[in-house]
Amino acid sequence: MDDREPLAIFTPSGKRGRVPAGTTVLEAARTLGVDLDSVCGGRGICSKCQCAPLYGTFPKHGVTVAEDALSPINAVETRHDEKRGLKPGRRLGCQARIMGDVVIDVPPESQLHRQVVHKVAWARAVEMDPGTRLFLVEMAAPDLHAPSGDLERLNAALAAQWGLPPA
pLDDT, tens only, 95-128? 999 999 999 999 988 887 766 667 777 888 888 8
167 and 93 in a common domain: no
34 and 65 in a common domain: yes
SS3 category, 24: strand
SS3 per-residue string spanning 45-61: CCCCCEEEEECEEECCC
Does residue 2 surpass a pLDDT of 60? no
Q: pLDDT digits over 32-88, tens only?
A: 999 888 888 888 888 888 999 999 999 998 999 999 999 999 999 999 888 888 889
Q: Domain tally for the chain? A: 2
Q: Could you list the residue range(s) of the whole structural domain that residue 140 is in?
A: 131-167
Question: Would 126 be classed as within a structural domain?
Answer: no
Question: Would 56 be classed as within a structural domain?
Answer: yes
Q: pLDDT digits over 24-39, tens only?
A: 999 999 999 998 888 8
Cβ neighbours around 112 below 10 Å, total: 13
Q: What is the mean pLDDT of the chain?
A: 88
Give the predicted TM-score (pTM) of the model. 0.64
32 and 105 in a common domain: yes
What pLDDT does 1 receive? Answer: 47
Question: Would 1 be classed as within a structural domain?
Answer: no
145 and 99 in a common domain: no
